[in-house]
Amino acid sequence: MRIVVANVNTTEAVTEVIRAQAVAIAAPGTEVLAVTPRFGPPSVEGNFESYLAAVAVMDRVRAVPEPFDAVVLAGFGEHGKEGLAELFDVPVVDITEAAAHTASLLGRRFSVVTSLARTTGQITDRLALTGLSSRCASVRATGMAVLELETDPERAGDRLAAEAVRAVREDGAEVICLGCAGMAGLAEQVRDAAGVPVVDGVPAAVGLAELLVRQGLSTSKVGGWAAPLPKEITGWPISGA
């Protein structure tokens, strides 16, 4: 089995963190190919950057030599999943959806703890699209930028743990979702502090993608995620691949 895991930003260090998470959870025999967009922002923290990243990810994954068996979109609350689902027949799993679905199997209500407050609206909107927003107790922000999570992991862990504790005590959360693909290695600290299960989106998405492939399931091509209409798109693909 071969799974493409797409970082949404252009920072290679974040791609490596994502790759390590995916490899750690993947079953023996699963090949993980982690890819970085060729253009876009170094971190995605807002709607403009998210829409730009969506195009960049579609362009980058399209350039990956086929065959591959599934695609994981490793951006929490980001755009682009639907476009990837139209472009490819294989399962496309977004880490936001994977984390929310997994959390909903573990408790009645979950909270998301993410990076900056400006991203909470995007995450809320994404959860509404999954149909699981009613299970979400809150979306909380640590106030730390995405790249700060990599440069100051000790502070990031403390801020995440503090917000997770508040989500449990004040919002009624029974499960915590880590709301950024770059939060690798912090789940245990958050779990110990909050006393509830903690779901990391990348491992959840990779495990779910493997499960779908093993069942022989694929993206429906009837209706909303049918293949794009055959027409010439000026300047596409951007990479020229």
Which CATH number goes with the domain that contains 77?
3.40.50.12500
Is residue 221 in a domain? no
Is residue 222 in a domain? no
- Higher-scoring residue by pLDDT: 241, 218: 218
Domain that holds residue 105: 96-200
Looking at the structure, do residues 179 and 86 belong to the same domain, yes or no? Answer: no
Cross-strand pairs, 136 = 110
pLDDT of residue 182: 86
- Is residue 64 very low, low, confident or very high in pLDDT (cuts 50, 70, 90)? very high
Looking at the structure, do residues 142 and 58 belong to the same domain, yes or no? Answer: no
Looking at the structure, do residues 41 and 101 belong to the same domain, yes or no? Answer: no
Distance separating alpha carbons of residues 140 and 154, to the nearest angstrom: 19
pLDDT, tens only, 181-233: 989 889 999 999 999 999 999 999 999 999 999 999 999 999 999 999 999 98
Looking at the structure, do residues 44 and 117 belong to the same domain, yes or no? Answer: no
Looking at the structure, do residues 89 and 172 belong to the same domain, yes or no? Answer: no
Number of domains in the chain: 2
pLDDT of residue 151: 81
Looking at the structure, do residues 86 and 176 belong to the same domain, yes or no? Answer: no
Cross-strand pairs, 199 = 177
pLDDT of residue 241: 53
Distance separating alpha carbons of residues 48 and 227, to the nearest angstrom: 25
Which of 151, 153, 157, 143 lies closest to 191 in space, CA to CA? Answer: 157
Looking at the structure, do residues 163 and 183 belong to the same domain, yes or no? Answer: yes
Which of 114, 157, 168 lies closest to 139 in space, CA to CA? Answer: 114
Is the separation of the CB atoms in 178 and 139 below 8 Å? no
Start-to-end CA distance of the chain, whole Å, equals 24
Tell me the one-letter amino acid at 89: D
pLDDT, tens only, 96-150: 999 999 999 999 999 999 999 999 999 999 999 989 999 999 999 999 998 888 7
- Mean pLDDT score, 11-18: 95
